[in-house]
Chains A and B, each alone.
Chain A
């Protein structure tokens, strides 16, 4: 494949556009209407700093409608101003100063101040030393971090104002009108948002809807935007629906519960890694979606993902297995509610058995390894790598380096620990109604719903 990520993303955008028919992009956005979204997840809290909530792209996108961060990371991994207009580092990149944008207001009408911003960052990161200084927020760290601004773009670092009644107020394009935890969220367009009012008046999000129900709701015209599991994306698209995808932003991997305790255990893990037939799994299970991966970071983010070898080598796997004198019976766990994880875990177990490794699937909470689906937290490679390391419970050595070689070395170091066997990188996919206009998710899966608008369903050369 000559042209990888960006070309692939452009191609998927073109596919989307061709499926849309003669799109109405030439029409200026129209204001009004209620955008209806259905999603699988059921987040119990909208507090960005609530660490008990599992991180996911869906949750990030919801939070992004309500809250904003000081900076953002764009599709090219560049840090861009948001609630901070500029920033500078001092003391060897251990002290960072972010100057706040003037005139930004929370949804309750109060202004964003440096004190509130500092308080929000302290709440999200109790170990940080954060304080206000004039119109700026200062963050001091115990070690240099050249990539710190990108970390501030993570949703848990959003600017949140905590009201006396326990409610939260943000500065994002939509304010909360109604919140039924885990069930339904209704958002209203914020009239005086500093980036300009969103085009739709309201967004209604139905949560906890399985994929089949979501598809029915889309087909019946009761939803404008639904999630599509990557493995069903091609079928959903060929049935005439508008399907669009992000770049791969999810890592599917086998994650061991602990460090390898002996040389034999390491060898067994290596044998398991060599036994996995990613290519055939991708064809049969994922229907060609996503990318087979032996790296933690997808190639479109790092540029060197292919340098990690991931081709199955059953012969080598058997040889390695034979060197292990007493191999234990292993169990691989998966989320019982995730049908894709179940099928993948079963295929992994099958491959393992071919190599002479005893591996049983289980939905029990405790297992020797689990099939994990980890949402990459950012398009910034360092932040993404740290996020995965955190999700694995492995410390990634802090480095002040920013070069691609240092990044490669860090990823290689993480993999050398043999806690994780990467399998696939998957995109997020959505299907949209014909009424949804200017819907173009970001490469990193960001919704950008503040820029969409609702047209009439009839499409074509004639105006809506």
Chain B
């Protein structure tokens, strides 16, 4: 059966589970816009995606089951044997049952005849266990009054099980983009059709360019980031599309600029230039619907800390210093732009260039605004403590609208699988990039978050 699954996977696979990379639309939110036939096809593919890690692991159980069966038979020899299998690992009951079944088949193929204990010449107790590095399958073999023998095999643990099993939120939809062990700082979608087809992933040491080929992300280029000073802890950074070249990278005390086209080169220099708070217009970020255009605004970022110093350029009206803040989000109004600054002291500072006020809203440190077709056309995504998310202890993201100066939640909290380490408005302005450190795997997972209208 495992072989059949394997073959099916080989033919349908567009996810490389070994490398823990996720294909487009790997989570949710994009399928409903497809034509019916394609929708069906994508549904099947999505079903495969959801099952894939388990199936892939199932395929890899054959070999250790064979090895353990061989070791057991070396001790017992062929004949009547009582066999029990107990799961002492984090494997699910279903998986453990499947492994037990495989093991019995392998033992039978080697001449062992499973019988009840009272008819057995030997008894074999198999425990499916684990340690931090591997699954450990242990068999204790008792025959007569002799000292029991213990044999065992190990196989590496699958590390990516949790990523695809996230449940969907109702109003904020997330699409998995990328996961890796190194801390992801930002992701720039360079090309997309119905789903991203080329992305640039920024971490502390490189920008990696990936392209979707045959349903898998394939690395196109790896551009090293040079820096002489150590990065601060809680490293943050941005990668933003540019007008006359492909992208710019902003890191604490460092600025990098790419060449215009592939194959790319990246030149980095020490710099205290301000970081753009509004992504440059790449042909997709012109505000649509209600609201004024968002004029460019830059903010200076501390080279040795994790916040913006507060200094703004060119400023908001007469205000050129907003106080130290972690993140900022513009909300265009009819005739002005309301800026929200998540200050390091915990308050949200609302500034329109003429008036300003600070509110304790109970939001987290990261805010990002997105342009949508819902409600007032602009929502703020704000991080927060997981709402009923005790199961994995992760953070959450919730969408708010800000009527006048009073924010109101317009979505349920989207619980995530760990701590949110980055939340930035996407280049097009209609979604946000969130990076989450998965509490189980320790990996950093980048998602694209979009607000979906309730009707």
Residues of A within 8 A of B (CB): 1-7, 10, 13-14, 17-18, 22-31, 75-78, 103, 191-199, 299-304, 306-307, 379, 381, 403-405, 408, 443, 450-451, 460-464
Chain A residues near B391: list those with CB within 8 A: 14
Chain B interface residues (CB < 8 Å from chain A): 87-90, 127, 129-136, 138, 140, 150-154, 228-235, 304-307, 326, 344-347, 360-366, 383-385, 390-391, 393, 395-396, 419-420, 439-440
Q: Is the CB of B133 within 8 A of A26?
A: no
Question: Count of A-B contacts with CB under 8 A?
Answer: 154
**A199 with B90: CB separation less than 8 A:** no
Residues in B neighbouring A198, C-beta threshold 8 A:
233
Query: Among A300, A405, A451, which residue has its beta carbon within 8 angstroms of that of B131?
Result: A300
A13: chain B residues at CB < 8 Å are 393, 439
Alpha-carbon distance between A5 and B395 when the two chains are bound, in angstroms: 24
Cβ contacts under 8 Å, B231 to chain A: 195-196
Q: Do B230 and A194 have beta carbons less than 8 Å apart?
A: yes
Inter-chain contact B131/A403, CB cutoff 8 Å = no
The 9 closest A-B pairs by CB, nearest first: A463-B346, A26-B364, A303-B136, A303-B131, A28-B365, A461-B362, A76-B132, A196-B233, A26-B383
| One of A25, A306, A451 near B395 (C-beta < 8 A) | A25
Cβ of A3: which chain B residues have Cβ within 8 Å of it?
89-90
Partner of B138, one of A10, A304, A379: A304
Q: Closest Cβ of chain A: how far from B422's Cβ, in Å?
A: 10
B127:A307 contact, CB within 8 angstroms: yes
Contact status A77-B230, CB under 8 Å = no
Interface of B, helix, strand, loop or mixed by DSSP: loop
| Contact partner, B228, options A31, A103, A196, Cβ 8 Å | A103
- With a cutoff of 8 Å between Cβ atoms, the chain B residues found around residue A460 in the complex are 362
Known: A29-B306, A463-B363. 18 other contacts (CB 8 A): A4-B88, A14-B390, A26-B365, A26-B395, A27-B364, A27-B365, A191-B304, A299-B131, A300-B132, A301-B132, A303-B136, A304-B129, A403-B154, A405-B152, A443-B132, A451-B233, A463-B345, A463-B361
Closest to B359 in A: A463
**A303 touching B90 by the CB < 8 A rule?**
no
Which listed residue (B347, B363, B385) contacts A23, Cβ 8 A?
B385
17 contacts between A and B (CB under 8 A): A4-B89, A4-B129, A5-B130, A7-B90, A26-B363, A26-B366, A26-B396, A29-B233, A29-B306, A193-B230, A303-B130, A304-B152, A379-B132, A381-B131, A404-B134, A462-B346, A463-B347
Q: Which residues of B contact A194 (CB under 8 A)?
A: 230
Q: Chain A nearest CB: distance from B443 CB in Å?
A: 12
A403–B137 CA distance with the chains assembled, in angstroms: 13
Known A-B contacts A26-B364, A463-B346, A464-B346; the reply to A192 vs B90 at CB < 8 A is no
Q: Smallest CB-CB separation from A194: which chain B residue? A: B230
Residues of B within 8 A of A78 (CB): 133
Q: Say yes or no: A27 contacts B129, CB within 8 Å.
A: no
CA distance A28 to B232 in the complex (A): 13
Q: Which of chain B's residues have a CB closer than 8 A to the CB of A28?
A: 234, 306-307, 326, 344, 364-366
